[in-house]
Amino acid sequence: MRGNQCDCPWAGGNHEGKYRIRPRLRFMETTAAAHGTVRGGRYQASCRPAIDVVAIKPGQGLDMARNDLCRVVKPIILTAVCAAAACTVLSTVGLLWPDHAACTEVFVCLSGLSGLLCALIVGAAIAIRRTKCFVDEQLEKAAATERELEKTKEEFSFAIAKQAKQLRSFERVFRCFAETSVDAIIVADDNGRIVFWNRGAEELFGYRSEEVLRKEPHSILAPPEIRDTACQAFAAFCRHGEGPLVGTIRELTARTKNGQEVPVEVSISRIPRGERFQTVAIIRDISHRKLEEFAVQSHIAALEELQWTLTDARDAAVAAVEAKSAVLANVAHELRTPLAAMIGYADQLSEAEEVEAARQLAHSIRRNGEHLLQLLNDLLDVAKADAGKIRIEMGDCVVCEVVGDVVATFANKAHEKGIELKCRFETPVPERIVSDVLRVRQVLFNLVSNAVKFTPKGSVTIATRCVHGDADGSALLFDVIDTGIGIEPDALERIFDPFEQADAKTGARYGGTGLGLAVSRRLAELLGGELSAWSEPGKGSTFRLRLPLGTLGDVPFLSPDEAEAAVDEKLKLEQGRPAEEKSEQGPCFSGKVLLVEDSEDNRLIVTHLLRRLGAEVDSAADGHAACEMVRQAEAAGEPFDVVLMDMEMPRLDGCSATRVLRSEGYTLPIVALTAHTDEAKHREALDAGCDGVLTKPIRREELAEALLKYAASTGETPSEQTMTQTVQ
């Protein structure tokens, strides 16, 4: 359109014959049904422009256009002004005239282009108003949503801050706990690298925190021998989050910085972090617990060992009781046999008419009595050994004299059995050693006695030799070798137990109580040596007494020939001769003796012995009578040269009587007589004032030695050689 003209296809395309367009608006319908519809409770009018086509003559177009332009522009300007005013009062119009369709229709009713523009402007204003309302509504909703979001954000921020505060608090608690814990606490990330290493871990493993951060735990803590296995297990754990240590407590061995391996207790937990996780390991040093466990296990083992020992001791006690029961029956038999013989011989002796027959009966009585005495001595020695009361008195022990005494004692018995008793020296031996000569002799007596007893034929040999610098040091060895019945291997150790023999048949056939070897081993141990044995059944046995040599100093050694010559000198003519054939001498003591003894039989025996020695004997039955007789003898000027005082008597015992006499100034010898072998009893007698002690039964030679030692003879004092010949 140019001006108020337009090109129309039906106008021919030139100004001639052009048409003038007169736009106007008109109501299509005036009724509600014709003009529009009611939508949403509002009425909307329908309108459409009407175009009038008027023919224009040539030359009239410019004027018409100018006129139309003026006619149109003015209303437009006016309409624009009105529109501006309308925009200003649009809100008021909307409030006063809410039906925008009706308002629009009013403006549309205006004629011409101004009405159209006004309608457009009003429509635009209404649209703007409605858009503004919609935008305001949306903005209000957006603001409300923003306020809700802000509130939610604040709530979330508060919750996050609160949770962060709690986490920081928990972290402080964890760090405080971790740093003060005596256990090692190690945290590793999802790659298996250490991110936390507490003070306990530093103290346990020796690594500072900065030395191990970002390292794998197994690479520094696993011992070399299991490091590869630990690496594979840890890699599998990092991939899958599972492993044998997760959720359990295991005992492992860890390696410290200085290379020391320590036992530890490990507990591993997982902390999920999304699809990955962190690992917390708590490691406890259990070295002290292991030591305690070892101590407990050792204690348990000791208790078990003690239990076994007690069980063995109980079994041994039961066996000992059984053995003692058996040996008591055997002892009863052993006691009854010589007692029956002694009683029978005594009966025959009382009826004997020939002196030689009486002498043989008397010798048989003495032999059985000595057997009983030896049995009692063995029983006493066992009791002393069990009570630890055997006394050892170290002194000079002349080797050749001890061997000679043993050979002389058993030579006659060996000769009677038809076996050979020999002694030999295989190496040079010292002339003497430091030991208890009585105990050494007792051990050898027991060994040779058993060898002779259990050897029906062949020989018994005492072999003596020295060994120097072996594993047990220098020693003197006495080997008692026999060709007897031998001992079974399982019985070799048992024969050294009290009341034990190789078997029951042995005791029944050969006699004995099984006490001699037990006493001998105890004595050998008390002497610092040992007693051992080996045997072959049917061929014989060897028993060895080993005595330590100790410090010999300048003690001379005797060659084997010199030693055997010394033994031969000791034996002389006694080897193989019975004691009954030894020569006897006449009386050799002329002193006055007071015998104080409450037993009438013992008084008769000792009185007989004293008178055979040439002594003048008076006797008393108790201590009171003895004190009175001593006073009377002193008053008469004929004091007793020796008082033989029994220790246990009625009215006044021997110790009390001795104290009374010593308190009255009696100075002559008093010799105690006692059946006790206990050293304490002997010491009690000596403390009471006795000069010596004789143990019952009293042998003639012992009595003679005591008289020689203590008595003051009123006549000629016999020489020691004469006394020795007399007691023989």
Q: DSSP per residue over 611-637, as a string?
A: HHTT-EEEEESSHHHHHHHHHHHHHHT
Token couple for 280: 């917390």
The amino acid sitting at 326 is A
- Domains of the chain in sequence order: 9-134 (no CATH), 181-285 (3.30.450.20), 293-389 (1.10.287.130), 393-581 (3.30.565.10), 592-727 (3.40.50.2300)
- Sequence-ordered strand ranges (E) for 361-499: 395-398, 420-425, 429-430, 432-435, 459-467, 475-482
CA 605, chain centre distance (Å)? 66
Question: Which of 542, 535, 539, 543 has its CA nearest to residue 488?
Answer: 535
* Under 8 Å between Cβ of 626 and 690: no
Residue 725 scores a pLDDT above 50: no
According to the model, what pLDDT value does residue 67 have? 65
Q: Which tens digits make up the pLDDT trace of 403-429?
A: 988 888 888 888 888 899 999 999 999
- Residue 609: which of 625, 627, 629, 595 has the closest Cα? 595
Mean pLDDT score of the chain, rounded to an integer? Answer: 74
Under 8 Å between Cβ of 404 and 442: no
- In the chain, pLDDT over 70 holds for what percent of residues? 67
Where do we find the tokens 């939610």? 152
pLDDT of 679 reads 76
**Is residue 309 pLDDT above 70, yes or no?**
yes
Instruction: Give yes or no for residue 2 having a pLDDT over 50.
Output: no
pLDDT tens across 81-101, in order?
A: 555 555 554 444 454 445 555
pLDDT at 70: 62
Between 418-422, 467-471, 627-631, the lowest mean confidence (pLDDT) is in 467-471
How sure is the predictor about 574, in pLDDT bands with cuts at 50, 70 and 90? low
| Pairing label, strands 557-558, 616-620 | unpaired
Is pLDDT above 60 for 582? no
Given a cut of 50, is residue 522 above it in pLDDT?
A: yes
Name the nearest CA neighbour of 382 among 323, 422, 436: 323
CB-CB neighbours of 571 under 10 Å: 18
Q: What does the pLDDT look like over 590-622, one tens digit per residue?
A: 788 999 998 887 888 888 888 888 889 999 999
Which has the closest alpha carbon to 283: 312, 263, 304? 263
530: which 2 tokens? Answer: 């040992």
pLDDT for 169 beyond 70: yes
Which H helix or E strand runs over 374? helix 355-387
Directed axis angle between helix 355-387 and helix 287-351, to 10°? 170
pLDDT: which is higher, 69 or 679: 679
Q: Which of 667, 621, 676, 659 is nearest to 642 (CA)?
A: 667
Residue of higher predicted confidence among 348 and 637: 637
Q: Please provide the DSSP assignment of 657-715 as one string.
A: HHHHHHHTT--S-EEEEES---HHHHHHHHHHT-SEEEESSPPHHHHHHHHHHH---SS
Q: Determine the angle formed by the axes of helices 437-453 and 516-526, rounding to 10 degrees.
A: 150
